[in-house]
Structure 1
Amino acid sequence: MSEIHTPRLLLRQWHDDDIAPMADINADPEVMRWTGDGSVLDLDQTAADIERWEEEWDDEGFGLFAVELLASGELAGFAGLSVPAFLPEVLPAVEISWRLGRQFWGQGYASEAAHATLEFALQDRGLDRVISIDRVGNEASRNVMRKLGMTPERETTHPVHGYPLSVHTIDLTEFAA
């Protein structure tokens, strides 16, 4: 697994001591309101998610990075690549996603981590296209997608929860890394 340094962040593999701070992020209803059915996750669910994310690195050669603030060493959340198996209509596709703790919102960290992830997708993994899926109404994620140069591709419906989703895309051959 690669490590990526940005001016303010370290995108890295997961450590055992990341489980509790990531569980704190996942326990915040405001953070989780746009994810799945909006339910918060506990420590055990977070540990299982991190284990699954690490397995995706082994299976796919990419996954979700732990995002650490260089200045403080705090875990801010995650950013990275995954296969959006929950939405079969977009497959085969690779999705970029991010989730940060609320105290890290509004400071450009998500955009910084996502931009570094797109560079990784293009330069290290040779991907030529990446998508991002958001729940309609999630303007914060939509703003990050715009900053990345992603464009709307289609509207669809979440196959399990029934709410509207928007799929955005970027052609990495045109991405200015």
Structure 2
Amino acid sequence: MTKKIIENDKLYLRELTSDDFEDLCLILQDEETMYAYEAAFTNEKVNDWLNWNLKSYQENGFGLWAIIDQQNNNFIGQCGIVYSEVEGESLLEIGYLVNKQFWNQGYATSASQLCLTYAKNSLKAEKICSIIRETNLSSQKVAEKNSMTLVKQFDKDYSGLPVRHFVYSIDFNK
């Protein structure tokens, strides 16, 4: 069994493995789930995504992790910590994607709270953010539940079109 990174009563986070490919496809190949990325992924892109995370574990000691339900061991989605570039600045970010059959059940909030704890205690991070598309109201609510505040807005280029994003952040030293 893959090592648990961090857990609470509801779920645990663990490293993704090649065995998670099919579960990742259910999320990354779903048009509704992937609207923030402008398109669902092909099998090749899902494989690249998985390999990018495996590389991040080796290089950074973290990445996006599998969200696993404690009660039934269901693969709920992925949530973790990555580096993201925003207007030339490298930010530590909590990101997540949840299988839509588990939306609105508190998994994104619970998993991202575990990531906040991990960032503060294990990584000794001073702050962490979530980068959220302007139209993604559910993720904005998750960030607010996690005591993050809106600190910046910027446009991200999607095939030549500017798409507004918000940067929510929390400073652990305040």
Task: Calculate the TM-score normalised by the size of structure 2.
Answer: 0.92
Distance of aligned partners of 1:39 and 1:156 in 2 relative to their CA distance in 1, 3 Å threshold: same
What is the one-letter code of the residue matched to 1:76?
I
Q: Is the Cα–Cα contact under 8 Å of residues 20 and 43 in structure 1 kept in the other structure?
A: no
Q: Aligned partners of 1:88, 1:120: CA distance in 2, in Å?
A: 26
C-alpha RMSD over aligned residues: 1.5
* Number of matched pairs: 170
2:22 paired with 1:9: no
Listed one character per residue, the Cα deviations across residues 13-68 of structure 1 (whole Å, up to 9, x for unaligned) are: 11222111111111111100122xx2101333112101101111211222111111
Match of 2:77 in 1: 77
2:114 paired with 1:112: no
What is the one-letter code of the residue matched to 2:42?
D
- Secondary structure at 1:68 match in 2: strand
Match of 2:51 in 1: 51
Match of 2:142 in 1: 144
What is the one-letter code of the residue matched to 1:15?
T
Work out which of the residue numbers 23, 30, 33 in structure 1 matches 2:32: 30
Listed one character per residue, the Cα deviations across residues 147-174 of structure 1 (whole Å, up to 9, x for unaligned) are: 0000001111003441111111101234
Alignment gaps of 5+ in structure 2: none
Matches within 5 A, 1:87-98: 87-89=86-88, 91-98=89-96
2:169 paired with 1:172: no
- Secondary structure at 2:141 match in 1: helix
- Secondary structure at 2:173 match in 1: helix
- Secondary structure at 2:154 match in 1: strand
Q: Aligned partners of 2:123, 2:36: CA distance in 1, in Å?
A: 28
- Secondary structure at 2:90 match in 1: coil
What is the one-letter code of the residue matched to 2:121?
Q
Matches within 5 A, 1:153-172: 153-160=151-158, 161-172=161-172
More strand, by proportion = 2
Task: Calculate the TM-score normalised by the size of structure 1.
Answer: 0.90
Q: Aligned partners of 2:42, 2:91: CA distance in 1, in Å?
A: 29
Q: Is the Cα–Cα contact under 8 Å of residues 14 and 67 in structure 2 kept in the other structure?
A: yes
Q: Aligned partners of 1:131, 1:15: CA distance in 2, in Å?
A: 25
- Secondary structure at 2:115 match in 1: helix
Q: Aligned partners of 2:71, 2:25: CA distance in 1, in Å?
A: 22
- Secondary structure at 2:41 match in 1: coil
Alignment gaps of 5+ in structure 1: none
2:66 paired with 1:61: no
- Secondary structure at 2:57 match in 1: helix
Listed one character per residue, the Cα deviations across residues 83-140 of structure 1 (whole Å, up to 9, x for unaligned) are: 113x343x23101111000011101010000000000001001101101111101001
